[in-house]
Chain A
Amino acid sequence: MLPKPFIKELNNHFQSGSLIIHPDELTLYALDGLQLNSAIPKIVILPESTDQVSQIIKLCNKYNLPFTARGAGTGLSGGAVSDGGVILQLSRMNQILEIDIPNRIAVVQPGVVNVHLTQMVREYNLHFAPDPSSQIVSTIGGNNAENAGGPHTLKYGVTAHHILGQKVVLPNGSIVNFGDKLRYQNGFDFSSVFTGSEGTLGITTEIIVELTLSPDTVETFLLSFDNYKNAADMVSEVLETGIIPAALEFMDKLCIKAVEKKMKAGYPENSEAVLLVELDGNRDKVQEDSNLLLSIANKYISNPPIRAENKKEKENLWKGRKHAAGAMGLLAPAYYTNDGVVPRHCLTEVLKGIYQIGKNYNLQIGNLCHAGDGNIHPLILYDPGNKTQVEKVFECSAEILLLCLNFGGSLTGEHGIGAEKKSLMPRMFNETQLSLMMDIKNLFDPENLSNPGKIFPTKGSCGELNQNRNNVLYG
C-alpha cells in the first residue's frame, strides 16, 4: 500500500488523469519488451515537465519509495519495470523543444519517439542517426537510458555518440545539466556516465542531440549464402578491405523463413544465411565501394546479389530485417531475444557455438546479428506453456552470453543489463570494477531509490527474476 499522505500530496500537485492506481490499469505497466519478467508498480504517474518530475522524486524521497522512469516500454532487459514502486511514465513529455538547423542540434524531451525527430528534420537533409529496430515507437529518453544502437551503428555510432548534453533530475530531486550545446568539452563527462545508466542514476528530462547529415547516395544489397560461415567470414573481409558500410546485417535460415512467411521481402528461402549491406556517402565513393563489395561477395555468395533498384525495393529489404524478430512469432508461440557482443573476427566461431548450445538444450535458435559490430541477437524459440522449456531458455541464453565473454565480448551491446542479466555481471566484471560502478551509483543515489534492482547483482537475483517470470507465464 502506498502511504496515504503520499497520495494526498500527489493529488495536490497532479490532476487525477495523471495518476494511475487501479490494479487493472497497473498491469499494463507490468512488462516491457522482456516478456519473461513482470512486476506490478504501486502507482504510475504521468508528469509533463522537469519540475513535475522533480516534485515526484522529492516526494518519493520523503516517503522512501523507489521510482522507475518508463518511455515506450520497448526495452528488452526488464529495465522499465518496477516491483512495487512508482513508475514515471514520460510519454507526455514528448515535445521537440528546439531544432537548430545551422548547428545541427535538437533539444527534445525524453518522450519524443525516435523516428519523429528524423521526420521533423528530413526536409533539411538531416536525421537522428541512432535507429534501433523499435524506432517507430521507442523514445529518445529510452534510447538514452539504454545507449541504444541499431543497424546503422556500424558507421554512425551508438546513441552516446549523438548526445551533447542532458538535463537530469537526480535521485534527490535536484535538477542539473550535464553537457550543453557546445560540441567540445574538457572535464568529467557525466553525460557519458548517464547515457546507458538505465535510469539508475536519475531521470533525464531534456536531451540535446546532434543531427547527422543524410548521405547523397545509398545502395542496398542483399547477399545470400549456402553456409552461415561464408556470410560471417565475408563480414571480416569486407571490413578489412577498407569498406565501412552504413549497415552490415546477418540473418540465418530460420530468420529468413520467418520473414518470408510473414511478408515476402524477397529473401531467397533456399539460403542458409543472408547479409543485408548498405553503403552510403557521395556517389563516387559509394560506386567504388559497391564494386569492391561485389567483387568480395563473388567468393562467398550462392545466389546472384540482389541490389535494391529503387526506394520501394530498398524499403522492402529493410522491412524484412526490421520485422525479422517479430516474424519469429509465426514459427513458435514465443521467442526470447538475446543480446551479446563479440569481436567481429570471431563471429563464425561464435555462431557455431550458439548452434551447438541450441542443440544441447534442444531449442531452436534463429540468429540475427548487427554483424558489422559483432552484436549478436540469437532469438530462442519456446513455448511459454512448457515450464521445462522456459527454464531451459534462461539457461541457454546465459550460456550464449558466457560464450561471448569467453571470446572477449560483452553481456550486452544495446539492450542493457536491466533485471535480466544482473546476475551475470560478476562474470564480466571483477570485484573492483563492480565496486567502482556501485560507488558511482551510491554517489548519485545514496538511498538506492532510482530504478533499484537493475544492473547490479543482488543476493538471489536469479531467484527474483524466476519468481517474476512465473508471474507472467503461469500466473
Chain B
Amino acid sequence: MDNPVINHHPANLTATVSGDATIEDIQEILSENHQFIPIGPFDIKIKIREAIDFNLLGCLNHKFGTIKKWLLNTKLEMKNEMIQTGSNVMKNVAGYDITGVLIGAQGSLGKIRTATFKLYPYKKKLVPFISEKMDLKTAIEISNNFPVSGLQVINMNVDCYIIVYSDEVPEYNFIEYNPSKIDNFQNDIRFVVLPSEIISLIEKIEELVSSFCIFPSMGIVDVKLRSQSDKGRIEKISEQGDCRIFNISDGKPIPRNCDNLEYLKSFKKLFDPENIFPRYKFIQ
C-alpha cells in the first residue's frame, strides 16, 4: 500500500494523501507538524476515498465546513488512464471544477487514487468533550452560538448532550470523554432540513425514532428508527417543506422527481462510458 501521506508541504499547508489511507493514519502523520485535514471525525476505518465519495461529515463541519472547502485536487483513475482533476494550489479557476463534482459522486465517475487537501494548523490538538444533560431546545440554542471547532448534538435515552471537539474546555459544564460509545451509533436515515426547522422536524418524527444525532449548522438530523416498517411514514414526513432524506447505509438518496436525471446519466457516461465504476445509486 502507498504511504498514507504521499507529499506534505507544511509551509504551504497542503498534503497529498493516498485514496486508500484511513483518515486516522493520515491525521496521525500530519499531526507531527501540528496540522490536520479539518474534516470528520469519522469511524477509524474510513478511507479518505470513501469520505470524498460519500461526502461524509462529522462534527468538525460546524466550524470548518464540508470536504468541498478543503479538497484541492485528486488523481482520478478512469478507464485506462489517470487524470489530475485540479491543481495543488489554494485557488484555481482554470477550466471546470471537476474535483468538486467528485465529492458525493459515490465513486461512480472513477476511483480516487490520491487527494490533495488544504490543511489547517493548530497550536493545541482538538479533543472531545461532552456536555451535561439538557433538553433538545437548549442544546440547539447553545449550539447556534457556540464558538468552538466542532459540535454535534446527541440524544441518548431522551436526554440530549452536546459533543464538542475543542482545544480548550468549553463553557456549560463540559467534561472530556471517550467518543467510542457515541460513534457506535448506527443510524438509518439522514434528514437534511433548514437549520431553523430542526426542532419542528424532531417533533414530527420523535415517536418513530429511538435516537438521533444532529449537526445543527448543517441542518442534518440522523435518526435510528424504532421499526424499519416506519420508513414509509418517515418518507411522507420528508415530503413536507424543504427536506431531503438519505438511507445512511449506502448514501442512497430516497428517489424523488429529478429534472436533471438525463444530465446525471450523460455526465456519468463522459467519465465512464463503459460503466466500469459503480453506478451512482440515484440513477440506477
* A interface list, Cβ under 8 A from B: 100, 102-103, 105, 146-147, 149, 153-154, 157-158, 160-161, 176-178, 180-190, 192-193, 195-197, 236-237, 239-244, 282, 341-346, 370, 372-375, 408-417, 421, 425, 428-430, 432-434, 436-437, 439-441, 443-444, 455
Contact = CB atoms under 8 A, between A and B. Distances in A.
A423 to B, nearest CB: 13
B130 to A, nearest CB: 22
Contacts of A236: 11-12
B242 A413 contact: no
Nearest to B122: A242
A412 B246 contact: no
8 contacts: A180-B242, A184-B57, A341-B92, A375-B90, A428-B87, A432-B78, A436-B271, A444-B263
Contacts, number: 216
Contact of A192 (B14, B95, B101, B246): B101
A417 B33 CA distance: 36
Nearest to B168: A284
A413 B87 CA distance: 11
Given A412-B93, A436-B83, A193 B100 contact: yes
Contacts of A412: 92-94
B36 to A, nearest CB: 11
A184 B147 contact: no
A469 to B, nearest CB: 21
A455 B97 CA distance: 13
Interface in B20-45: 33-34
A189 B55 CA distance: 11
Given A240-B121, A429-B95, A176 B260 contact: yes
A344 B120 contact: no
B33 to A, nearest CB: 8
A195 B87 CA distance: 17
A149 B92 CA distance: 10
Interface string B81-105: 1011001111111111110110111
B177 interface: no
Nearest to B84: A433
A416 B54 CA distance: 29
B134 interface: no
Contacts of A425: 94-95
Contacts of A237: 11
Contacts of A193: 96-98, 100-101
Given A192-B68, A425-B95, A409 B242 contact: no
Contacts of A178: 260
B198 to A, nearest CB: 11
B228 to A, nearest CB: 21
B266 interface: yes
B128 interface: no
Given A176-B263, A185-B55, 13 more contacts: A160-B68, A184-B244, A186-B251, A187-B104, A190-B101, A190-B267, A192-B68, A240-B121, A343-B9, A343-B14, A410-B92, A433-B95, A436-B271
B219 A187 contact: no
A125 to B, nearest CB: 11
Given A193-B101, A244-B121, A184 B192 contact: yes
B13 interface: yes
B66 to A, nearest CB: 7
A236 B90 CA distance: 13
Contacts of A417: 93-95
Interface residues of B, number: 70
Interface string B242-284: 1110100001010000011001101110110000000010100
A187 B103 CA distance: 8
A395 to B, nearest CB: 20
B11 A345 contact: yes
Contacts of A429: 94-95
Contact of B12 (A105, A181, A343, A421): A343
B101 A244 contact: no
A434 B88 CA distance: 18
A164 to B, nearest CB: 11
- Nearest 3 A/B pairs, CB to CB: A192-B100, A413-B91, A345-B11
A242 B282 contact: no
Contact of B94 (A105, A181, A408, A411): A411
Contacts of A455: 95
B142 to A, nearest CB: 16
Nearest to A442: B270
A16 B211 CA distance: 62
A334 B101 CA distance: 39
Contacts of B179: none
A195 B98 contact: no
Q: Which of B13, B91, B120 has the most CB of A within 10 A?
A: B91
A408 B73 CA distance: 12
Nearest to A408: B88
Nearest to A346: B12
B204 interface: no
A429 B69 CA distance: 23
A186 B95 contact: no
Contact of A440 (B94, B121, B270): B270
Given A196-B96, A413-B93, A439-B270, A186 B104 contact: yes
B196 A102 contact: yes
Contacts of A181: 194, 242
Contact of A341 (B65, B78, B87): B87
B253 A374 contact: no
Given A242-B34, A345-B11, A182 B194 contact: yes
B59 to A, nearest CB: 14
Q: Which of A105, A157, A187, A412 has the most CB of B within 10 A?
A: A187
A272 B157 CA distance: 64
Contacts of A372: 90
